[in-house]
Structure 1
Amino acid sequence: MRPRFSFTLAAQDGQARTGTIAMRRGEIRTPAFMPVGTAATVKAMKPEAVRATGADIILGNTYHLMLRPGAERVARLGGLHRFMNWDRPILTDSGGYQVMSLSELRKLTEEGVEFRSHIDGSRHMLTPERSMEVQRLLGSDIVMAFDECPRADQGRDAIAASMEMSMRWAQRSREAFDTGGDHAEGAALFGIQQGALDADLRRASADALREIGFDGYAIGGLAVGEGQEAMFATLDFAPSQLPADAPRYLMGVGKPDDLVGAVERGVDMFDCVLPSRSGRNGQAFTWNGPLNIRNARFAEDTRPLDERCLCPTCAIYSRAYLHHLQKAGEILGAMLMTEHNLSFYQQLMAAMRNAIENGRFALFATSFRQDYLGSDE
């Protein structure tokens, strides 16, 4: 039987790392990108198609699933894996970020967050204990501790107070997770570092998380409007503050060049809605940079989206056809564009893993940026 959770580093090149997370439902190759299945679906994709892109793990959204169809209902139906026909690992976020973004609909206290559903206005209370219960009912493999994600433009005192409360919530999450019986014995719990852009606050957060003890550690509070330069400046110190023998997960990131820069700084795991959302809206990510397939210049372009891409969309369909589908509002356009984007992201992760294994990550990163940021396809 596979272990409950283990992380093995296979190679390191500079700060960039590659390795394997082993869990009972399968192995996760790192650096790893997790497609986002917000409401038990990666939009416009069948689960088997998501797996075919090379994804080892997907993300489910605690907030949305607890409201619809409801965590208790998912549990009665056999858990999230059976419900959505995904037999590999699933990471669920804690619900904290979505609740915190509903500033007009919630009330924050030490106990947790009281909020009104954006669906029907019903009132709910989400606490560290309830977050652990919901994620247990969903049956997730990697559970995220409940935290608050403050805006980076708040004052330092407010960010410090928020971080300290998140660390108290992390302790409560740990205790509630550990009472989870069979689920706790088979799943993993990740803590979340906070502290915005402040190195001292992030150090204090990392120290508190180490003291509690987690299977993996996330870097939260980034990709919330601070810009790439500020994010990279924070990643210059934040990953190294976390344990080297555990996975480091940068939440909610990002664009392809964000991923390369973050791996360069020691990050192992990512998630983002960008490849699927962009695909539905006509943006394709390619080795030569992003392109908007709705642009008139593609109306008679017989080339694939990306001649270097190995996905089924690029093997069969032309830019001209995809342009037509998008302009006509056909569902197939969203499906094919999403399939390409998710495949491209997985090919990018595989290329980074290979470059790290062969000790040439710096060369890869330089070449990638020249093509991705310097081309006009």
Structure 2
Amino acid sequence: MGLGQPLPDPRPTDFSFKLIATDGKARRGEVSMPRGTIRTPAFMPVGTAATVKFMYPGQVRDLGADVILGNTYHLMLRPGAERIANLGGLHKFANWPYPILTDSGGFQVMSLAKLRKMSEQGVEFKSHIDGAKYMMSPERSIEIQCLLGSDIQMQLDECTRLPASEEDIEKAMQLSLRWAERCKTQFGDRPGQAMFGIVQGGDIPRLREESALALKAMDLKGYSIGGLAVGEPQDVMLDMLGITCPLLPENKPRYLMGVGTPDDLIEAVSQGVDMFDCVMPTRAGRHGLAYTRFGKVNLKNARHKDDHRPLDPESNCPASRDYSRAYLYHLTKSNEALASMLLTWNNLAYYQTLMQNMRDAIEAGHFVDHKAAVKEAWAKGDMPAL
């Protein structure tokens, strides 16, 4: 290449998924796009209002997160999608130049909004903040996500809480399919970005099958599995994953929405899921609960007030390694902000380590043994005294 000529840009220009290895149903892959690569299985920290609570963006990245999640409902209400677009888009606004996934806002409309009214057109609702009236149609949901500039966008769907009648579940699933078609049309052709469909159908196998096959026929860039973090037992979730995942394309990413505990993650990876998000590790951190490779540690428990041990002396995370449980107990009981900061940091570090270890195990071909060892450590409980 001659002097003065620019070097070629090595970043991909479009969205793609590559399957690197499998071990049983478990998959190791990579989702590539212009802003970066997501190593799968992946856990996406939740940045609801353009921030992962009590974390700096650089901290989140340093823990190994390739992608974070933003919330369409919350961002459309405050500060507003058009304002974020005028300020350069969500990546610039939040100082996160890496991939961002946004959910459609549908779940929050159903769970948070006041006086919502469902129709074929969309959902009319009042803001939980100030009571202002809004209309969220499939087209508007995609429009907002495009204004935000997210790399992966979700179709608008109707999520039914379980338990529910088969009639209500089917009605919501069929509406979600019609909305998926409208979202696909609104999204159009956007190189480097992707829109995912959302498989619904509650706990009814035939509805899950129908939803998955109909979305597969739309030839979307990725597929989400929704409605499985709404109060159902884990065995129901796993049964529905066992039905759904084999029906989805092998060469497209699979995203289980809103899940979950470390045990949920390792079991869902066993069923072939690639991507996850959940508020659990950050919310737990704000309420005095730490996740570790030995299981959960409740820092509100008085038994920790004289415990000089850290959460995990072998962790690479300073929050896990460099602070005593006695100090974390003191911070938690004193309602100090540093308690939420340190425990959130610890929890996200553990979740990212859990995902990295699963990726390594799948690639090495010993995921089953790895899963058994992880579960055995959880069953034994806390680490021995130092």
What TM-score do the two structures reach when normalised by structure 2?
0.95
Distance 1:41 1:348 in 2: 22
**In the alignment, is residue 276 of structure 1 matched against residue 286 of structure 2?**
no
**In the alignment, is residue 7 of structure 1 matched against residue 17 of structure 2?**
yes
For residue 314 of structure 1, what is the aligned residue in structure 2?
320
Q: Match for 2:209: what amino acid?
A: R
Structure 1 residue 103 displacement after superposition: 6.9
Distance 2:216 2:333 in 1: 51
Q: Match for 1:287: what amino acid?
A: R
Does 289-298 or 228-237 show the bigger shift?
228-237
For residue 203 of structure 2, what is the aligned residue in structure 1?
197
> 3-state DSSP class of the match of 2:44?
strand
Structure 1 residue 329 displacement after superposition: 0.9
1:3–1:22 contact (8 Å) kept in structure 2: no
2:54–2:344 contact (8 Å) kept in structure 1: yes
Q: Match for 2:303: what amino acid?
A: R
Q: Match for 1:45: what amino acid?
A: M
Structure 1 residue 374 displacement after superposition: 3.7
> 3-state DSSP class of the match of 2:45?
strand
**In the alignment, is residue 114 of structure 1 matched against residue 120 of structure 2?**
no
Structure 1 residue 104 displacement after superposition: 4.8
2:114–2:127 contact (8 Å) kept in structure 1: no
For residue 354 of structure 1, what is the aligned residue in structure 2?
360
Q: Which runs of 5+ in 2 are unaligned?
A: 1-10
Map 1:95-110; keep pairs closer than 5 Å.
95-102=105-112, 104-110=114-120
Structure 1 residue 308 displacement after superposition: 3.7
For residue 135 of structure 1, what is the aligned residue in structure 2?
145
Q: Match for 1:200: what amino acid?
A: R
For residue 66 of structure 1, what is the aligned residue in structure 2?
76
Give deviations 1:120-140, integer Å, cap 9, x for gaps.
000000000000000001000
For residue 36 of structure 1, what is the aligned residue in structure 2?
46
> 3-state DSSP class of the match of 1:36?
coil
Partner of residue 297 from structure 1, selected from 290, 298, 303: 303
Distance 2:377 2:81 in 1: 44
For residue 340 of structure 1, what is the aligned residue in structure 2?
346
1:96–1:149 contact (8 Å) kept in structure 2: yes
For residue 245 of structure 1, what is the aligned residue in structure 2?
251
**In the alignment, is residue 78 of structure 1 matched against residue 88 of structure 2?**
yes
Distance 1:307 1:109 in 2: 54
For residue 146 of structure 1, what is the aligned residue in structure 2?
156
Structure 1 residue 68 displacement after superposition: 0.3
Does 305-314 or 82-91 show the bigger shift?
305-314
Does 366-375 or 297-306 show the bigger shift?
366-375
Structure 1 residue 303 displacement after superposition: 1.0
Distance 2:213 2:244 in 1: 12
1:28–1:57 contact (8 Å) kept in structure 2: yes
Distance 1:330 1:102 in 2: 28
Distance 2:58 2:301 in 1: 31
Distance 1:113 1:151 in 2: 17
1:287–1:308 contact (8 Å) kept in structure 2: no
Query: Once superposed, what is the RMSD of the aligned Cα atoms?
Result: 1.1
Partner of residue 19 from structure 1, selected from 29, 49, 55: 29
Does 299-308 or 212-221 show the bigger shift?
299-308
Identity rate, percent: 56
Does 100-109 or 321-330 show the bigger shift?
100-109
1:33–1:349 contact (8 Å) kept in structure 2: yes
Give deviations 1:285-326, integer Å, cap 9, x for gaps.
011111101211111111111234221112321111111111
1:298–1:323 contact (8 Å) kept in structure 2: yes
Structure 1 residue 376 displacement after superposition: 4.6
Distance 2:115 2:19 in 1: 43
For residue 185 of structure 1, what is the aligned residue in structure 2?
191
